[in-house]
């Protein structure tokens, strides 16, 4: 297969997290570079945009979810959003401990739905501009991300557009790496099948000659 065919041209990203942690603000900041304070947002929205990450273009679909619990009636809709996605950005607010506690539950659900570990996932701690209202320390976020084997960014969507870009950039990078790993595994499998087929043919031929 040629190099151009093997490049990942589009990716589907899902933004998850408790209500009010800043998911919509994050998506809008990434797409438009603007911070808009308030949103009427009680339904899921999929944004489409083209971005350059590491000098390569990629078409992104970004699903901005509404807060859903990992248990109860909302879980099946959450599961179908997870099935749809290639990469995940789990967000919490440093001013809301319950949003931090939801991160592990969401990660466990991703692993369960995808039935594999190592799914590209970035954890974003938002609202670090609100130092006075902080209830989750930076080192707690870092430790959780290390434990869950995810990349970690603490930022303020309100104040830092570049940090938002860096978090999404990292997620795209991880999704691309996963895509390459998947292609390699497929190549390996197809080479093994070819070898098995050739061996079977050889055996059949030698048996025919013996007779
Ligand atoms: N101070 C501060 N406020 C923020 C920041 N990011 C978002 N907000 C505010 O937090 C509130 C919630 O932001 P949203 O983007 O609507 O949060 P959401 O997670 O999409 O919320 P739901 O739609 O309820 O799921 C809004 O009032 C935002 O202006 C930030 O970095 N700093």
Q: Cα 27 from chain centroid? A: 14
pLDDT score recorded for residue 184: 86
160 lines ligand 1 (CB under 6 A): no
CA-closest candidate to residue 142, choices 119, 157, 123: 123
Q: In this structure, which residue's CA is closest to atom 28 in ligand 1? A: 37
State in Å: Cα 191 to ligand 1 middle: 50
163 lines ligand 1 (CB under 6 A): no
Q: In this structure, which residue's CA is closest to atom 27 in ligand 1? A: 38
Tell me the per-residue pLDDT of 182-195, one tens digit each, with 9 for 90 and over.
888 888 877 788 88
d(CA 203, CA 24): 62
pLDDT score recorded for residue 4: 46
Q: Which residues of the chain have pLDDT under 70?
A: 1-5, 41-42, 68-74, 207-211
pLDDT score recorded for residue 58: 97
d(CA 56, CA 4): 11
């Amino acid at each position: 297969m040629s190099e151009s065919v093997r490049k990942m041209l589009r990716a589907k990203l899902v933004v998850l997290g408790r209500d009010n942690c800043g998911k919509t603000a994050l998506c809008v900041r990434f797409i438009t570079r603007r911070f808009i304070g308030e949103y009427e947002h009680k339904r899921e929205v999929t944004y489409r945009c083209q971005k350059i990450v590491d000098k390569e273009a990629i078409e992104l679909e970004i699903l901005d979810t509404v807060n859903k619990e990992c248990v109860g009636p909302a879980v099946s809709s959450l599961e179908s959003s997870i099935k749809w996605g290639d990469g995940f950005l789990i967000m919490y607010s440093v001013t809301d401990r319950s949003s931090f506690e939801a991160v592990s539950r969401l990660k466990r659900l991703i692993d369960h739905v995808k039935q594999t570990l190592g799914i590209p996932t970035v954890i974003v701690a938002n609202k670090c501009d609100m130092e006075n209202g902080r209830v989750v320390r930076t080192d707690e976020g870092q430790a959780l991300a290390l434990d869950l084997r995810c990349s970690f960014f603490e930022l303020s969507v309100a104040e830092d557009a570049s940090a938002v870009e860096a978090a999404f950039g990292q997620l795209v990078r991880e999704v691309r790496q996963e895509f390459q790993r998947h292609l390699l595994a497929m190549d390996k499998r197809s080479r093994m099948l070819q070898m098995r087929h050739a061996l079977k043919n050889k055996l059949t031929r030698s048996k025919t000659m013996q007779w």
